[in-house]
């Protein structure tokens, strides 16, 4: 399994698929044993889920929510809004992530 370089709260851009070019914040990272990691990005890959009536929700309705995207289809976004790879460097005694395109810390 490869190391995941995207963290919750990072701003990402979708690089492939029907949501290509979409930008948003990572809400959740889903890692399951034996499966590829996926991410949920705010406002991207929105689906409609039909909810059955229940005691707590007697009417039932259609709920819109974000579905997971494979982690290889998103890339970290730098300050300019472009996709970037990450590197790392030491600042004092802390290791920080650095954008390869601009050299700024993430």
pLDDT, tens digit (0-9, with 9 covering 90-100), for 5-36: 899 999 999 999 999 999 999 999 999 888 88
**Which domain covers residue 33, as residue numbers?**
11-99
Domain CATH for 45: 2.30.30.30
Task: Say if residues 24 and 74 touch (Cβ distance below 8 Å).
Answer: no
Contact residues for 55 (Cβ-Cβ < 8 A; gap 6+): none
16 in a domain, yes or no?
Answer: yes
CB atoms within 10 A of CB 14: 20
21 in a domain, yes or no?
Answer: yes
Domain count, the chain: 1
Question: Which pTM was predicted?
Answer: 0.81
pLDDT, tens digit (0-9, with 9 covering 90-100), for 36-75: 899 999 999 999 999 999 998 899 899 999 999 999 999 9
Q: Spell 36-69 as b/e; 16+ CB within 10 A means b.
A: ebbbbbeebbeeeeeeeeeeeeeeeeeeeebeeb
3 in a domain, yes or no?
Answer: no
59 in a domain, yes or no?
Answer: yes
Closest to 42 (Cα-Cα) out of 29, 25, 63:
25
Residue 94 confidence class, pLDDT cut points 50, 70, 90: very high
CB atoms within 10 A of CB 32: 8
69 in a domain, yes or no?
Answer: yes
56: left (phi over 0), alpha (psi -120 to 50) or beta: alpha
6 in a domain, yes or no?
Answer: no
């Amino acid at each position: 399994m490869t190391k995941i370089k995207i963290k919750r709260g990072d701003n990402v851009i979708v690089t492939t698929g029907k949501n290509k070019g979409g930008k948003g914040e990572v809400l959740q990272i889903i890692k399951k044993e034996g499966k590829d990691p996926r991410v949920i990005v705010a406002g991207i890959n929105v689906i409609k889920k039909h909810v059955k009536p229940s005691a707590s929700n007697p009417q039932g309705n259609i709920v819109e929510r974000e579905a997971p995207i494979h982690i290889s289809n998103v890339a970290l976004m730098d300050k300019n809004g472009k996709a970037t790879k990450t590197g790392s460097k030491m600042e004092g005694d802390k290791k920080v992530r650095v954008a390869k395109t601009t050299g700024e810390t993430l």
